[in-house]
């Protein structure tokens, strides 16, 4: 369902590994500025430690997702012309990439919203904004840089919130905490069907054995959250990068369009 909105590093010029900055933290063992290539980026634009990112302390890379923006910017917007040896093009490309990444992320959520039977009453509006968002990704670099991304995101958000309401409408969850976040919360085995985790901090929360069907996970921070044997089969707006940043095991149930991260199966 989401193949064109998945990262394809083989067809990208390693844009996330160059354009974006990172700072020394729990997610990175060192720092670098935006526009500076990561020390682990190879000449072929692939990562030399791809299979050891967690072990080497690059957890931020594991939980990053470009939603296919990298290959789109590299191959469609810049038609296969890379950034090396072209300082002006590089500067522009590194500014265009994060904007297109945000547009692709919106497309990913909109595509899921469009696939749901619960959203029948707003399908026309979803289609319209999906097509408008696609059109924005096909503009010239100059037009993309002039885009009011916040205004467009706000328009998309109205429909994503409505999607969430329609999707969760038959669930009134009394187990959901009223406080602002769930950092370290013990919710083992709790019935959390239909919960709204929109933008919630759920770092290291224990959600093992919990029933999370029909919950909305948009923007939730699941770093080190324990999803072992949890049921996430029919959830809303859960991404591969959120799963990659969490813990789980072979008994965790996930949506068919996502994959269990390798570190869950070791
Ligand atoms: S560690 Fe690998 S994936 Fe992370 S920024 Fe560097 S090259 Fe990219």
Sign, CA dihedral 166-167-173-175, equals negative
Instruction: Determine if ligand 1 sits within 6 Å of the CB of residue 20.
Output: no
CA-nearest residue, atom 4 of ligand 1: 61
* Rounded distance from Cα 240 to ligand 1 centre (Å): 17
CA distance 141 to 194: 40
Q: Kindly give the distance from the C-alpha atom of residue 56 to the centroid of ligand 1, in angstroms, as a whole number.
A: 11
pTM (global) more than 0.85: yes
Asked if 167 and 116 count as a contact pair (C-beta separation under 8 A), the reply is yes
Tell me the C-alpha distance between 177 and 211, whole Å: 15
Q: Give me 31's structure tokens.
A: 């720092």
Say yes or no: CB of residue 15 within 6 Å of ligand 1: no
Q: Is the beta carbon of 58 within 6 A of some atom in ligand 1?
A: yes
Q: Is 156 in the pocket of ligand 1 (CB under 6 A)?
A: no
Q: pLDDT by residue (tens digit) across 220-262?
A: 999 999 999 999 999 999 999 999 999 999 999 999 999 999 9
47 close to ligand 1 (CB < 6 Angstrom): yes
Question: Is 13 close to ligand 1, i.e. is its CB under 6 Å away?
Answer: no
Confidence of residue 175 (pLDDT cuts 50, 70, 90): low
Q: How far apart are CA 28 and CA 58, in angstroms?
A: 5
The 3-class SS string of 212-247 reads: CCCCECCCCECCCCECCCCECCCCECCCHHHHHHCE
Residue closest via CA to ligand 1's atom 2 equals: 47
d(CA 58, CA 72): 24
61 lines ligand 1 (CB under 6 A): yes
Decide: residue 142, CB within 10 A, 0-12 exposed, 13-18 middle, 19+ buried: exposed
Query: Which atom of ligand 1 lies nearest, measured to the CA of 46?
Result: 7
C-alpha 157: how far from its chain's center?
15
For 126-151, the pLDDT digits (tens) are: 999 999 999 999 999 999 999 999 99
Contacts of 261 (CB under 8 A, 6+ apart): 62, 243, 244, 248
């Amino acid at each position: 369902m989401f193949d064109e909105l998945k990262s394809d590093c083989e067809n990208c010029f390693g844009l996330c590994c160059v354009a974006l900055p990172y700072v020394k933290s729990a997610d990175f063992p060192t720092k670098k500025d935006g526009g500076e290539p990561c020390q682990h980026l190879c000449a072929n634009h692939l990562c030399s430690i791809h299979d050891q990112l967690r072990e080497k302390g690059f957890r931020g890379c594991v939980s990053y997702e470009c939603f296919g923006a990298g290959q789109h910017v590299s191959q469609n917007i810049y038609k296969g012309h890379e950034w090396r040896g072209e300082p002006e093009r590089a500067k522009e490309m590194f500014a265009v990439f994060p904007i297109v990444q945000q547009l692709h992320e919106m497309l990913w959520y909109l595509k899921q919203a469009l696939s749901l039977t619960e959203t029948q009453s707003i399908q026309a509006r979803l289609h319209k904004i999906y097509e408008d968002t696609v059109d924005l990704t096909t503009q010239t670099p100059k037009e993309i840089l002039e885009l009011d991304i916040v205004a467009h995101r706000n328009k998309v958000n109205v429909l994503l919130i409505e999607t969430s309401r329609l999707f969760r409408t038959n669930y009134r969850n009394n187990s959901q905490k009223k406080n602002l976040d769930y950092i370290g919360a013990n919710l083992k085995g709790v019935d959390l069907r239909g919960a709204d985790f929109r933008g919630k901090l759920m770092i290291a929360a224990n959600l093992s054995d919990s029933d999370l069907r029909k919950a909305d996970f948009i923007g939730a921070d699941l770093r080190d959250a324990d999803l072992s044997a949890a049921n996430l089969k029919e959830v809303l707006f859960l991404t591969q990068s959120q799963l990659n940043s969490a813990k789980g095991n072979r008994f965790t149930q996930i949506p068919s369009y996502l994959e269990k991260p390798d570190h869950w199966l070791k």
